Amino acid sequence: MKRFAVFASGSGSNFQAIVNKVQSGDLTAELSLLICDQPGAYVIERARMARIPTFVFRAKDYPSKADYEREISFLLKERNIDFIVLAGYMRLIGPTLLKEFEGQIVNIHPSLLPDFPGKDAIGQALAAKAKWSGVTIHYVDEGMDTGPIIVQERIRLEDQETRESLQEKIQAIEHKLYPSILQMLLTRGEVIHEEKTRTY
């Protein structure tokens, strides 16, 4: 059974969805560690309640990205981690981790990449008056949301769409799609290229 770590920075709703699927047996891999760069993030409490070991750090406490990534890499190797899952982790992964886990890091992003990369993709889509948005799961490379796409699911934006309504729709997709894709990647190593369409 493969062992994976989740990296997160915020409330951890995707982390919780993954935990739930591991606990139910729908995701047959071992969630072995949470890495969090925000000491006050609620995802830490979620991990505590799920009895998931946690490493919390502040980037400013280290001389460089390479320094904290070396420490993280040591922890991942110590726990025999095979795979890294980014779930709302708000830092670019640097060369240290990319080299150690080449092809074994995935991310979920709340837009149809390459549209609206980076922070506040939901706000970007609304500001652009986009007709479509959605969710992308992709491999991580050195760029910002530029890695090879594994799967996308799209949704139509309504004329009266708000940030809250769009976020709710996107999270509903994320919480189902991410665990199911992780199950395929972690158990069979499959690369999926597929676009699912859902209209609300």
Q: What angle do CA 87, 3, 92 make, to 5 degrees?
A: 35
For residue 175, indicate whether it is catalytic: no
HSE-up (13 A, CA, CB side) for residue 187: 13
Nearest CA to 185 among 108, 99, 88? 108
> Under 8 Å CB-to-CB from 174, ≥6 apart: which residues?
13, 14, 17, 108, 110, 135
Buried b or exposed e, range 43-65, using 16+ CB within 10 angstroms:
bbebbeebebebbeeeeeeeeeb
CA distance 73 to 22: 23
Could you say which of 109, 138, 175, 193 is catalytic? 109
> Under 8 Å CB-to-CB from 188, ≥6 apart: which residues?
none
| Phi and psi at residue 167, to the nearest 5° | -60, -40
For the sheet with 30-36, list strands across it: 54-56, 30-36, 3-8, 83-86, 105-109, 132-139, 149-156, 194-197
Catalytic residues: 109
